[in-house]
Structure 1
């Protein structure tokens, strides 16, 4: 490369998923809590056996200080009120489920964390959206020229979803 030539700048106008955009911000926080990645937290609903998938959340992984490999961490769980005794009793089953998911002995022991349990907001039921007559008419007019029935229906569904999200509906 000549002295006059500058390296081509990195493209910054590419699309990213939310998880990719936040990974840089979340990874240092998760590493402080002992997690190598986001899998155990993000997939907890699939990893934990029922009812612990709804009543517990991973808080931290504590690794032993020996140099004998990465196996055998202690998983600390936040637990819903009234579920602590049950979760402690079923700790071997929870550890087995985590190990089964990852395919190796990641967790040797499960203990309860003193941190309070805060369940996710994803469980809240949402009201079904009912578009107004003006929105239906506007989207119908925009898609009426499309000849393919499947494509017209897909565009109509997309148009209604976008009109619901739009802050300026009357433009």
Structure 2
């Protein structure tokens, strides 16, 4: 996918993969980044001038209207993701958005009493209650999804 992303102006798949987290739940599935259009300008010495890009996205009509009112915030989130002012404009094209095919969650097997006890023993030294509970849940999920049966 990286060659395709480069062809579309993206340096990597990062922005495409992180798009739902960048724009949030309102636009994550309803707006798709299409390409980054970088201006080609040179200074008097013939060296490239680094200028922010235009991000071209596509979405349906009603979402385009909402997005157009929130472009400053979206640009701010995108630039925070990149760590620099990479984008200064969003161009919205109205066309259907293709839905990404998600993977179905894998059902986990129930844990034995011994497996649960082992996880509880491993996290019992953690003082913070919330962290201990999160680690316990993680440990149980790791064991439940272990394909080797080693748990």
Structure 1: which 5+ residue stretches go unaligned? 1-25, 141-145, 164-171
Q: Distance in 2 between matches of 1:147 and 1:66?
A: 62
| TM-score, scaled to structure 1 | 0.56
| TM-score, scaled to structure 2 | 0.63
Structure 2: which 5+ residue stretches go unaligned? 43-47, 120-138
Between 1 and 2, higher relative CO (CA 8 Å, sep ≥ 6) is seen in: 2
SS at 1:120 equivalent = coil
Q: Is the 8 A contact 1:79 1:117 kept in 2?
A: yes
Q: Is the 8 A contact 2:64 2:94 kept in 1?
A: no
2:118 is aligned, of 124, 135, 150, to: 150
Count of residues paired in the alignment? 123
Q: Is the 8 A contact 1:70 1:106 kept in 2?
A: no
Cα deviation, 1:64-120, whole Å, max 9, x if unaligned, reads 011353331000112145211111222222111101221211001001135531122
1:69 is aligned, of 31, 41, 49, to: 49
CA RMSD of aligned residues (A): 3.5
Cα deviation, 1:27-86, whole Å, max 9, x if unaligned, reads 211111000111110111111145222321211000101135333100011214521111
Rg comparison, structure with higher value? 1
